[in-house]
Amino acid sequence: MAKTSSKVFEYVEPIGARVLVRKDEPKRETKGGIALPDAAEIPTITGRIVTISAVVENDPDIPLRQYDRILFHPKGAIPVDFEADNQLFVVPVEDVVAVFRREPREDTPKARDK
């Protein structure tokens, strides 16, 4: 009789007003091209939202979406030891301080002319 292997996929689902963020890699070079030693890394507190909780998804007052790039305060971020090379963090919504957007603002002349 052949054995059937059932693979179970694990995933992290944030609960409450939280998002799961993959932290960006720390910068190892300045914009001018100067290589930095490991001890002098510029701390990175930006990342991309991997998953949002149901609370965040259903709240129209929280302007966060999956795959948004955000700036977050690292003090309240909880590291998730899911895989060795991942830099995943569960971040409370109140610790997200900015969202990077590429969409034109509605009040700009170009956006109004469309």
- Residue 53 to residue 48: CA distance in whole angstroms: 15
- Residue 68 to residue 101: CA distance in whole angstroms: 8
Name every residue whose Cβ is closer than 8 Å to that of residue 12 and which is 6 or more positions away in sequence: 20, 51, 80, 82, 88, 90
Strands (E), 12-112: 18-23, 46-52, 69-72, 78-80, 88-92, 96-100
Residue ranges of the domains in the chain? Answer: 18-26+41-102
pLDDT > 90? residue 26: no
CATH of domain 18-26+41-102: 2.30.33.40
The pLDDT tens digits for 54-105 are 999 999 999 999 999 999 998 889 988 876 766 899 999 999 999 998 876 6
Lowest mean pLDDT among 20-24, 37-41, 46-50: 37-41
The pLDDT tens digits for 42-54 are 566 899 999 999 9
- Residue 18 to residue 53: CA distance in whole angstroms: 6
Lowest mean pLDDT among 1-5, 14-18, 34-38, 79-83: 1-5
